[in-house]
Structure 1
């Protein structure tokens, strides 16, 4: 793994033309009927090239010319274990790791494997929309434990959480760090959540896909690292996809210390989805990212942090009627437009069709999302500037 002392300088300022590349973000933005001049700042992938070390690994794999079935290598497992230990102070065993094409795929497998139709599953809105879809599409019921905004920071409502748990509640879906509000949960918050899960015999699926994207002054604490009792009832999803901007390669890792749960999960993946192993490019990219991507990530975090500071400054100076909570992690900002007094439909028309800026509609994140939108600042600063200028012009 490279260290922060590596001298290679990475480029985050160059605008890369992603149009007509089958990009969901750029070519399939449906805001305002997909206007040609739409500036997409919605889907949570970044507009930076992946680390050169990752690109080189993929090119080496492509250059071989034979793309047969592949298996995860010892180097792949070693890179993940070393990365998590160094970055998150959690000692993993390689046998705990299972492949999944996506963390949400893993979440759906867990829901199908460890709950039954009609069971209740807890989500904490406003939250990434597939959390709701994963519950509903599998015939389970959503129990919402809505986050509360207090002193400019979103927090878990533990008292309300205790009230929504009943004898049909089986699973809690944790988003850590939280998308879209950007919270990096403190150890004491997670310990209180763990205590509730233990007392009520709940399993926890912890989506920690943004765990590497944490800013200075904050520390991501893997939920399962809180102790053996917690680890025994936790399934964790991580991935290099958000961290290194390789979501299209479909490489995620499901971490399950409990052998019984892990066996059931792996068998369900094979039985229901026919999933056995990753594609050859995903294996090469993930190993290179976790082994050699540290310096790139450190510089990316500095750049993203400066994008956040720049956005706050522009909001204060030019769009004071729009506010945002301080992201402690992720490259996403949760914008509050409530002071404008618009309905959500009016807000959509103003931002999407008036400003021609594609954001994520806050209502898609569930209760607590009204009069909000999610902004992706994982792009060159010039693009952030253009998006904010467009929004300022229509407000």
Structure 2
């Protein structure tokens, strides 16, 4: 690994900070929810402390500087041109998607997602009285691909598709060719495409994700919350070049009270995009090395579990099919037996039931602890089940 300037090694005690990851459940080692256990980029912390020193924390507007930070980031890193007129501010990607579902579809409509996929997609569709339609990804030889024949048929039945790129939980960056085919099929069937690109910056070093190119039916959801671990500030944007769609979305988000920002959010976003690029590039190196540690460990110490090859996110998708144990049972066993909390694959769709999702965005000390607990749990499970491993 290259020389690392920033601190990605210190183990930070996050307990008793009202932390979802560490305080919501009483687990020794939570490696489930998608947030990182690293110190935030110093420029972000410095900016927040400077703002906190001002003694008034009243209502806040969204400054032009925030939109300019987004524009500069996507121009520099992805050669993607955006304008302020094509953006709307929101408190988060999922609140944005929820608003879009309400204003762009009707109750009872089907909305297409590609499973296994981020479990909140299911909730946000069903909680809005819409129905989930799954275009199940094909898993062959340790890799995933899109079933385009199935996608073509099912897009004819829906008004909206939600895409995840890079994809959570499988960590795949969809190719330009895949995105073009998806776009063509959505145009063919007059389907609105929402592209959730929240994990876009978290790719392997020297690899870039492929943004969905602007089109009249495409809406992109963007945020620095995963890249810089600032989800607690609740900030994102919606981007589309379709002014008619954007006006509808803005109106709905205003009705839903999801278009305002808290007093620290814009400060954090601007410091992330304008002053923390070097930190992010080092983070990507650290996460990549963590992936190699997991890959080598499973290969040598726990070959019964296979790592699904991935090129993005800090979430690893572990193929546990050889254990022949339902993922919910396996996840709960690891928690009760080892205090290790990994996400059950079934939460991401029925076709995820042979898998676990593991968050590796943590210091190597915690990562190696988690791998040891995983092995010990599988060995204990083997004893109980008499010879599976």
Q: Structures share a fold, TM > 0.5?
A: yes
1:152 Cα deviation after fit: 2.2
**Structure 1 residues 297 and 345 mapped into 2: Cα distance closer, same or farther (>3 Å)?**
closer
Give the structure 2 partner of residue 277 of structure 1. Answer: 260
Native 8 Å contact 2:126 2:132 kept in 1: yes
Residue in structure 2 matching 1:232, options 216, 225, 234 = 216
What is the correspondence of 1:125-274 to structure 2 with a 5 Å cutoff?
125-167=115-157, 169-223=158-212, 225=213, 227=214, 231-271=215-255, 273-274=256-257
1:257 Cα deviation after fit: 1.5
Native 8 Å contact 1:184 1:218 kept in 2: no
1:8 Cα deviation after fit: 8.1
SS in 2 for 1:389: helix
1:48-74 deviation line (CA, Å, top 9, x unaligned): 111000001111111001111221222
Q: Which runs of 5+ in 2 are unaligned?
A: 379-389
SS in 1 for 2:162: strand
1:75-105 deviation line (CA, Å, top 9, x unaligned): 2121110001111221000111211111011
1:286-335 deviation line (CA, Å, top 9, x unaligned): 01101111100000000000000000001011111001112210000001
Residue in structure 1 matching 2:12, options 2, 13, 16 = 16
SS in 2 for 1:368: helix
What is the correspondence of 1:10-159 to structure 2 with a 5 Å cutoff?
10-29=6-25, 34-35=26-27, 38-159=28-149
SS in 1 for 2:221: strand
Native 8 Å contact 1:332 1:376 kept in 2: yes
1:13-55 deviation line (CA, Å, top 9, x unaligned): 10000011100000012xxxx34xx200001000011100000
Equivalent-residue separation in structure 2 for 1:348 and 1:152 (angstroms): 21
Give the structure 2 partner of residue 342 of structure 1. Answer: 325
1:134 Cα deviation after fit: 1.1
Give the structure 2 partner of residue 351 of structure 1. Answer: 334
SS in 2 for 1:254: strand
Q: Which runs of 5+ in 1 are unaligned?
A: none
Native 8 Å contact 2:155 2:186 kept in 1: no
Residue in structure 2 matching 1:288, options 264, 271, 280 = 271
Native 8 Å contact 1:146 1:367 kept in 2: no
Residue in structure 1 matching 2:362, options 352, 358, 379 = 379
Equivalent-residue separation in structure 2 for 1:93 and 1:13 (angstroms): 38
**Structure 1 residues 188 and 217 mapped into 2: Cα distance closer, same or farther (>3 Å)?**
farther
1:214 Cα deviation after fit: 1.1
**Structure 1 residues 252 and 166 mapped into 2: Cα distance closer, same or farther (>3 Å)?**
same
1:388 Cα deviation after fit: 0.4
**Structure 1 residues 102 and 279 mapped into 2: Cα distance closer, same or farther (>3 Å)?**
same
SS in 2 for 1:69: coil
Equivalent-residue separation in structure 1 for 2:73 and 2:331 (angstroms): 41
SS in 1 for 2:186: helix
Equivalent-residue separation in structure 2 for 1:263 and 1:116 (angstroms): 18
SS in 2 for 1:82: helix
1:154-181 deviation line (CA, Å, top 9, x unaligned): 11111111122334x1000000000000
Equivalent-residue separation in structure 2 for 1:275 and 1:340 (angstroms): 44
What is the correspondence of 1:297-312 to structure 2 with a 5 Å cutoff?
297-312=280-295
Native 8 Å contact 1:244 1:297 kept in 2: yes
Equivalent-residue separation in structure 1 for 2:322 and 2:269 (angstroms): 43
SS in 2 for 1:18: coil
Native 8 Å contact 2:95 2:258 kept in 1: no
Equivalent-residue separation in structure 2 for 1:275 and 1:352 (angstroms): 35
The answer to which of 351-360 and 205-214 deviates more is 351-360
The answer to which of 10-19 and 75-84 deviates more is 75-84
Equivalent-residue separation in structure 1 for 2:280 and 2:248 (angstroms): 34
